[in-house]
């Protein structure tokens, strides 16, 4: 590797390889159609708006019930999201662990102490 850095071609190769690696990591910034199955078998659908800055995710989700802030992180193809809602007058912490594959997120959602269900999101809007 040391020899590669001593020639212009070697430096150009390394720069191109790093640029390709950065370009391969697609951003999660954009609009997503999100749905999940509740532990009791119900289905919920939201629109998720995310902004990715490095490994950090911020955004909000919307539904007929309003808007809720979302935060999270991405590490390779693993995505973690979290938010809270009020359920029967008490806060309910919700967390998602998913895998990103192109314009899809698939994984598991945990609804506080209620239980878990399947989670899915598909990109619907640009980056």
Tens digits of per-residue pLDDT, 74-102? 999 999 999 999 888 999 999 999 999 99
* 3-state SS record for 112-123: CCCEEEEEEEEE
Model pTM score? 0.77
CB 63 within 8 Å of CB 72: no
Give the model's confidence band at 37: pLDDT under 50 very low, under 70 low, under 90 confident, else very high. very high
Please tell me the number of Cα atoms within 13 Å of 39 on its side-chain side: 9
Burial class of 85 by CB neighbour count within 10 A (0 to 12, 13 to 18, 19+) = middle
């Amino acid at each position: 590797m040391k020899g590669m850095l001593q020639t212009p071609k070697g430096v150009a190769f390394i720069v191109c390889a790093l640029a390709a690696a950065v370009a391969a990591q697609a951003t999660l910034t954009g609009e997503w159609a999100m749905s999940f199955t509740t532990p009791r078998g119900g289905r919920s659908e939201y629109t998720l708006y995310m902004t990715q800055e490095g490994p950090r995710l911020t955004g909000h989700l919307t539904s007929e019930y309003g808007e809720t802030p979302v935060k999270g992180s991405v590490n390779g193809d693993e995505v973690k999201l979290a938010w809270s809602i009020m359920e029967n007058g008490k806060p309910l912490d919700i967390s998602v662990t998913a895998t990103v594959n192109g314009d899809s997120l698939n994984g598991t959602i945990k609804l506080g102490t209620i239980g878990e269900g399947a989670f899915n999101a598909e990109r619907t809007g640009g980056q």
